Structure 1
Amino acid sequence: MMFNWLSLVTGLFYIVLGIVVIFYKFFFTILEPGVAYILGALLILYGIFRIYRAITKIKNSGNEE
């Protein structure tokens, strides 16, 4: 159960990281604007996916009890 909540927090972290990459165009090195937008969008999408997966696992674990 703790893994599901940790996955939820990790998803939020990826979303924030994606936003930071888009605004500051920096990810361990200075990025070109196009690369920053693509990398930021991918990080945000992955964060949304992690949150969705965590929520579905939390809901399913509630149904099993």
Structure 2
Amino acid sequence: MMFNWLSLVTGLFYIVLGIVVIVYKFFFTILEPAVAYALGVVLVIYGIFRIYRAISRIKKSRNEE
């Protein structure tokens, strides 16, 4: 159960990280704008996926109880 909540927080972290990469164009090094947008979008999409998966697991565990 705790893993699901941790996955939810991690998803939010990935979304914030993706937005930061898009805005500042920095991820351990200065990035070209095209690379920054691509990486930022991938991070945001992965964050949304993690949140979706965590919510579906939380709902599933509540239905089993």
- Do they superpose with TM above 0.5? yes
Question: TM-score when scaled to structure 2?
Answer: 1.00
User: What is the aligned-residue identity percentage?
Assistant: 83
Aligned to 1:56: 56
What root-mean-square deviation, in Å, do the aligned CA atoms of Structure 1 and Structure 2 show?
0.1
Shift of the alpha carbon at 1:18? 0.1
Counterparts in 2 of 1:4-43, with a 5 A limit? 4-43=4-43
SS at match of 2:46: helix
TM-score (norm 1): 1.00
Q: Distance in 2 between matches of 1:17 and 1:47?
A: 9
Measured after TM superposition, the shift of residue 35 of structure 1 is 0.1
Gaps of 5+ in 2: none
Q: Deviations over 1:28-55 (max 9, x none)?
A: 0000000000000000000000000000
SS in 2 for 1:50: helix
Q: Structure 1 segments of 4 or more deviating over 4 A?
A: none
